[in-house]
């Protein structure tokens, strides 16, 4: 069994390194040559071009968005011309539901199996191999590739037909986005009213207001650290997908729409390179306060 991995970014690199521990031959590809050194040192084969990855029996992808995934798999210079009947594509990227269905259909017409398997968890969990993975596709295909998925994730769930993994990931992401937007709105208010930021954070993270977002972001916001999560400019695609589903199926999502507005303002203010904790900058600027360890006073003036 020969494995391939396309996309060695923030999440893809640690996932591929863990997959290498399976002992199977691994071919890796990324557009950035500086991604290869660690793989070469550990015995992986570095592809000279994208087409080299098509030698693999199972090809994993970890790519930034729907357009890139489609280009890599089905574009004129992508893998489609070199793919063969019986190969398996496992896409761990987070992409649009409709794009997933289109890719699965086109690959099936070529005799290629497809599993959408987006992951939840940040870079630290990718390094530990403790991601959560949500999978959509044929159940027998899911069973076949699970032994390889287990090198990258410790919670692996079969969600149903093609696209089900992406829908499940989207639900999780939207809830996370809403939590992040809520923190951005409420925490600066506490400083404006003269409360101590560290004590507020302690209460939130030990009380009923806590969430994974609060536990992860509040300590980092207090330190002014906005670089340890996924950049907002890349994560915005999840909100777009949520709003598209809301519009196309006439499903009211007022709280999501409000969170999306905060997100959009953050991007327009040039905060897109920050992680989602960086949304707090929107309301910090509005109220002229900062939620930081060094700021114990905000006052009403």
Catalytic residue among 169, 192, 237, 276: 169
pLDDT band at residue 300 using 50, 70 and 90 as cut-offs: very low
CB 272 within 8 A of CB 266: yes
- 247: which 2 tokens? 């519009």
Identify the pLDDT of residue 34: 83
Main-chain phi, psi angles of 130, to 5 degrees:
-120, 30
Decide if 2-162 and 168-287 have a common fold. no
Mean pLDDT of 137-147: 98
**Is 100 in contact with 116 (CB distance < 8 Å)?**
yes
Q: Are 12 and 36 in contact (CB under 8 A)?
A: no
Secondary structure (3-state) at 272:
coil
**Per-residue model confidence (pLDDT) at position 229:** 84
CA distances to 24, 26, 84 from 58, in Å = 11, 10, 11
Helix 197-204 and helix 212-222: axis angle, to 10°?
160
What local confidence, expressed as pLDDT, does residue 81 receive? 86
Look at residue 206 and tell me whether its pLDDT is greater than 60.
Answer: yes
Average pLDDT over residues 194-213: 97
Does residue 269 carry a catalytic annotation?
no
Topology of 2-162 in CATH? Rossmann fold (3.40.50)
Structural class in CATH, domain 168-287 = mainly alpha
Give me the pLDDT at residue 115, please.
98
Sign of the Cα pseudo-torsion (42, 230, 227, 132, in order): negative
Report angle CA 62, 63, 64 to the nearest 5 degrees: 135
Query: What pLDDT was estimated at residue 230?
Result: 85
295 in Cβ contact with 191 (< 8 Å): yes
According to the model, what pLDDT value does residue 33 have?
Answer: 78
Q: Where are the alpha helices (DSSP H) in 42-163?
A: 66-74, 97-109, 123-128, 139-149
Burial (CB < 10 A; 0-12, 13-18, 19+), residue 47, is buried
- What is the model's pLDDT at position 32? 86
* Tens-digit pLDDT profile for residues 51-105: 999 999 999 999 999 999 999 999 988 998 899 999 999 999 999 998 999 999 9
* Domain segments of the chain as ranges: 2-162, 168-287
Report the mean per-residue pLDDT for the chain: 94
Backbone torsions φ then ψ of 156, nearest 5 degrees: -125, 120
pLDDT in tens, 270-296: 999 999 999 999 999 999 999 999 744
List pLDDT tens digits, range 147-171: 999 999 999 999 999 999 999 999 9
pLDDT at 299: 44
Looking at the chain, the whole-number percentage of residues with pLDDT higher than 70 is 97
Check if the beta carbon of residue 278 is closer than 8 Å to that of residue 226: yes
Q: What is the pLDDT of residue 169?
A: 94
């Amino acid at each position: 069994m020969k494995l391939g991995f396309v996309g060695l970014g923030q999440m893809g690199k640690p996932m591929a390194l863990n997959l290498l521990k399976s002992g199977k031959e691994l071919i890796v590809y990324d557009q950035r040559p500086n991604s290869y050194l660690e793989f070469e040192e550990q015995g992986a084969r570095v592809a000279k071009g994208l087409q080299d990855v098509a030698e693999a029996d199972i090809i994993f992808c970890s790519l930034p968005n729907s357009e890139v995934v489609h280009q890599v798999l089905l574009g004129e210079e992508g893998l489609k011309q070199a793919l063969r009947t019986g190969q398996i594509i496992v896409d761990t990227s987070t992409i649009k539901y409709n794009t997933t269905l289109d890719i699965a259909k086109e690959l099936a017409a070529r005799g290629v199996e497809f599993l959408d398997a987006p992951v939840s968890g940040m870079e630290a969990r990718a390094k530990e191999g403790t991601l959560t993975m949500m999978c959509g596709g044929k159940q027998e295909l899911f069973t076949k590739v699970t032994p390889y998925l287990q090198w990258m994730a410790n919670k692996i769930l079969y969600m149903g037909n093609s696209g089900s993994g992406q829908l499940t990931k989207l639900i999780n992401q939207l809830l996370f986005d809403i939590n992040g937007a809520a923190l951005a709105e409420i925490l600066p208010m506490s400083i404006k009213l003269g409360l101590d930021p560290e004590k507020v954070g302690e209460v939130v993270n030990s009380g009923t207001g806590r969430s994974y977002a609060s536990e992860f972001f509040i300590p980092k916001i207090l330190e002014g650290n906005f670089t340890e999560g996924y950049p907002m400019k890349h994560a915005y695609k999840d909100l777009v997908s949520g709003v598209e589903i809301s519009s196309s199926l006439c499903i009211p999502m007022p709280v999501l729409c409000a969170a999306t507005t905060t997100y959009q303002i953050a991007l327009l203010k040039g905060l897109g390179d920050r992680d989602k904790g960086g949304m707090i900058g929107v309301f910090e600027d509005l109220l002229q306060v900062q939620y930081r360890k060094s700021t114990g006073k905000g006052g009403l003036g």
